[in-house]
Amino acid sequence: MPFPAFAYAAPPLEPAPAAPPPYGFGYPYPGSGPVPGDDGDAVRPAPTPTPEGAPAHSARTGGPRRWLVVALVAGLIGALVGGGVGAAVAGRNHKTTIVRQVTQPNSSVITHQATVQEVLGKVQDAVVSIRTDIGAGTGMIITSDGQVVTNNHVIDKATKITVTLFNSTEARPATLLGHDATDDVAVLKVDNISGLPTVALGDSSKSIVGDDVVAIGNALNLPGGPTVTTGIISAVGRNLPDPRQPQNLIQTDAAINPGNSGGPLVNANGEVVGMNTLVIQSANAQELAQNLGFAIPVNNIKPLIPDLAKGISRNPGYLGAGVGDMTPQIAQRVGSSVDTGAFVASVEAGGPAASAGIQANDVIIMFDGKRVAGNSELVTLIRSHQPGDKVDVTYVRGSSTKTTTVTLGSIPTSP
């Protein structure tokens, strides 16, 4: 089965300009050529945020199925008058993840308007709108003196950040304290403020499929305050194969849109269980998707906050390979002797994996002496290392098992 490509894109409202030249797989990397994946396509770079009134960039369509995954940060300051909204977050080589059935009873109580309002009463005062010189998003106040957690892609490359509190029209200046590009988390500090309400960070490990949730955020940067939507947890443990992206995501059918990035996904107790981050808009030009939103589990965010609040920005290692879960079907197709591990769908030309001899269709089964059962385990192990670390990697090519030493690189930044 071909792996569809994730692509950087924003939905155009008028004909899009010619697409920029493709860069290397995984992270947009200036100067590298297209790297063939299983379907022969290449990942395209993030578009420069669209000026007001200009058409947004779009991904190529047609051919093998590809998912359009849009980051929930408004790509325009004038979101309602421009040619489109959104920057995109992406990977490629998507495969369907089968999530275990959950039979525990749904303990949520959001069943009518009044209970939704009760939930909002516990959290909405601590939800803020974020504006930058390149876009807009959402944040959550986590300390009374103005620390705010949001997505990294909301503030990435911004030179000016302002925060507007709930029920306020005053845009207050904010400072970036620390950020983690891979986990897509950043901590800001609103200047010269105290006594603010804070969100309650819950326990996302207790979230189950079917739980009722509320999403709150600065959808499309609409004036007049945040947008509130409701839905359920549709799945847990969703993984995207791009190693740049967070893993183990919560999927929800609550409506979320560009501008919701960094906002809370809240359970029936008013506790934040996730940070809204991504949405799949379509499989291809003919197949539109609906209600496929994704949030970073709050348990993945909480351990990052202390270091980020101290100004420690994390820079994990980089393998330079597009990977997915190995399956018996893939093993049969590529003639591999193993049917578990991390399947290498493509490698970045000149990247760490390619330099160490790893090729597309290899299956990584050991990394730094630890067994690899699938993509998410490999990504976790890579993130535990720093750029420059030398790591032994064992992989299977056909029926041969090989071991090589990879010198991990740094994550290339978008142009």
Q: Which residues are catalytic?
A: 153, 184, 261
CA 115 to chain centre: 30
| Residue 250, beta-bridge partner list | 295
**CA-CA distance, 351 to 144, in Å (whole number)?**
44
> ∠ CA 82-87-88 to the nearest 5 degrees?
140
Contact in structure between 230 and 212 (CB atoms under 8 Å): yes
Query: In the numeric block, which tokens belong to residue 121?
Result: 């009463």
| Residue 217, beta-bridge partner list | 227
Phi–psi pair at 351, nearest 5 degrees: -80, 175
**Reduced to 3 states, what is the DSSP secondary structure of residue 66?**
coil
Contact in structure between 148 and 163 (CB atoms under 8 Å): yes
For residue 375, which of 314, 319, 300, 309 has the smallest C-alpha distance?
319
- Alpha carbon of 212 to those of 124, 233, 247, 294, 334: distances in Å? 17, 6, 22, 15, 42
DSSP class of 88: B
Contact in structure between 49 and 135 (CB atoms under 8 Å): yes
Q: Which residues, in sequence order, are CB contacts of 256 under 8 Å at separation 6+?
A: 72, 215, 217, 219, 229, 263, 276, 279, 293
> ∠ CA 99-101-103 to the nearest 5 degrees?
150
Query: In the numeric block, which tokens belong to residue 407?
Result: 């010198």
Alpha helices in 151-278 (DSSP H): 152-155
CA dihedral 137, 142, 144, 146 (to 10 degrees): -40
**CA-CA distance, 247 to 377, in Å (whole number)?**
10
